[in-house]
Amino acid sequence: MSTTATATSEKDVYLSDFRRLEGDLTRQGRPALQRLRKSAIARFDDLGFPTPRNEDWKFTSVAPLTRVAFRPAGPSANLPDPGQLRHVPGMDAPCRLVFVDGFYAPGLSALPALPAGVVVGSLAAALETSPEPVEAHLGRHARFEEHAFAALNSAFFRDGALVLIPRGVVLREPVHLIFLAGQAEATACYPRNLLVAAANSQVTVVESYASLSGGVYFTDAVTEVVADENAFIDHYKLQQEGGQAFHVALAQVEQHRGSNFSSTYVGFGGALVRNEVRVLLGAEGCECTLNGLYQAADHQHMDNHTVIDHARPHCSSHELYKGILDGKARGVFNGKIFVREDAQKTDAKQTNQTLLLSDDAVINTKPQLEIYADDVKCTHGATVGQLDDEALFYLRTRGIGREEARSLLTFAFANDVLSRVKIESIRQRLEQTLLTSRHLPQADQTEERS
């Protein structure tokens, strides 16, 4: 059977799949969740897939994704061998939840003894056994009214990670959430994650996405994060999907008074990737840090969208995103900072830098500030450049080969973000990936400078 959908049936594939699975989907959870699913699929029907006519998707066409009739993945009885997963960060971590094609895999997971009240586990299991804490937040932060892929996730998700940290608890061991996909061709998985840190708590979460094959598959992920008063959340997202994979993700963060949210994104894989982070600083004294690094080559397309909404006074945000593009890769960065009328004394800084290693690589960068308050400090800047010829020449005169010199300079550019990863084992693995990646620049064929 062909996996290609006609243009007129792009939505119909998903709508018919929802009708086919509706009985199973609506049996999960209580009436509130059933209403959420039905509202989400109805909204997706209204919206359809975004097109470049939509300003937020101006430089990213999802047409390649819509040409494949992705069908929802199901739970697999044949889990991958752990020995084949050594390349996945966190697979040896003592506190890890592993999901295969969107479904919890307890045989690959590990949970140590946790402090009283801490919940780390399957979202689907929690919806069956103790749904109240989940329903208090699920679908209340990541809104799908204007987001087709969030609507799809809200309609189709079956499982995901649940992390609840009670008041005053400091969880010192990082929680690793590992999502493996692609066991079957042309399948879609819809991980749904909920992370809630209560007042005065602290947690580190590593969210990883990796491939089980080199085939075509689609990951549509939504993560909702709530940082209560004076909570501290250190979040990492590592995206290393397969070379033919599609990855679209939304992380929606809501911060309360005095909270601190820090996130670092590193993306290497995927044919078409859209990573979106939206943060609401909804009370005084919040601090938000967003760091990102993405690397693309060949014909990869990587789109990073961030929105930081300063809704209340005395909040600060810091943002640094870097891209490395080679071959005929395409990159997009759109960083929006809103400063509402009541958000006096805001301090917001945004920097976007892109390194182009090929004349055929293209970046579309659009930093945006919308300021409606008058007592603020806000800056943003974007730079696009190539490797410095003088720095290359300097290294060559020290006996370093051209290819090695280019690789060293590329690594130095990226390391400004990687050095901010506080988990040493993860940082070392990412550095090694960067150093050994096939995406590192190759020496060109022009005559070398003597």
User: pLDDT for 92-111, tens place per residue?
Assistant: 999 999 999 999 999 999 99
Euclidean distance between CA atoms 301 and 215, whole angstroms: 17
pLDDT at 437: 66
Instruction: Output the CA torsion sign for 125, 72, 148, 332.
Output: positive
Q: Which is more confident, 445 or 37?
A: 37
User: In this predicted structure, which of 36-50, 82-96, 121-135 has the lowest mean pLDDT?
Assistant: 82-96
pLDDT exceeds cutoff 60 at 446: no
Which is nearest to 71 in space by CA: 154, 5, 159? 5
pLDDT of 224-256, one tens digit each? Answer: 999 999 999 999 999 999 999 999 999 999 999
Euclidean distance between CA atoms 321 and 293, whole angstroms: 6
Which is nearest to 293 in space by CA: 431, 438, 142? 431
Euclidean distance between CA atoms 152 and 144, whole angstroms: 9
* Average pLDDT of the segment spanning 401-414: 86
Token pair, residue 339, equals 């400063």
* Average pLDDT of the segment spanning 397-412: 84
Token pair, residue 134, equals 């989940």
Which is nearest to 420 in space by CA: 314, 302, 295, 289? 289
State how beta strands 175-181 and 202-211 pair: parallel
pTM of the full structure: 0.92
Which is nearest to 375 in space by CA: 348, 406, 356, 402? 348
pLDDT of 317-372, one tens digit each? Answer: 999 999 999 999 999 999 999 999 999 999 999 999 999 999 999 999 999 999 99
Side-chain half-sphere CA neighbours of 46 within 13 A? 11
pLDDT at 435: 79
CA angle, 182 as apex, 177 and 183 as ends, to 5°?
Answer: 105
* DSSP conformational letter for 401: -
* DSSP conformational letter for 265: E
Helix, strand and coil percent figures for the chain, each rounded to 5: 25, 35, 40
| Polymer length in residues for the chain | 450
* DSSP conformational letter for 84: G
C-alpha Rg value of the chain to the nearest Å: 22
Token pair, residue 388, equals 């410095």
The mean pLDDT of the chain is 91
Alpha carbon distances (Å) from 418 to 269, 413, 427? 16, 10, 6
pLDDT at 405: 83
Beta bridge partners of 219: 189, 247
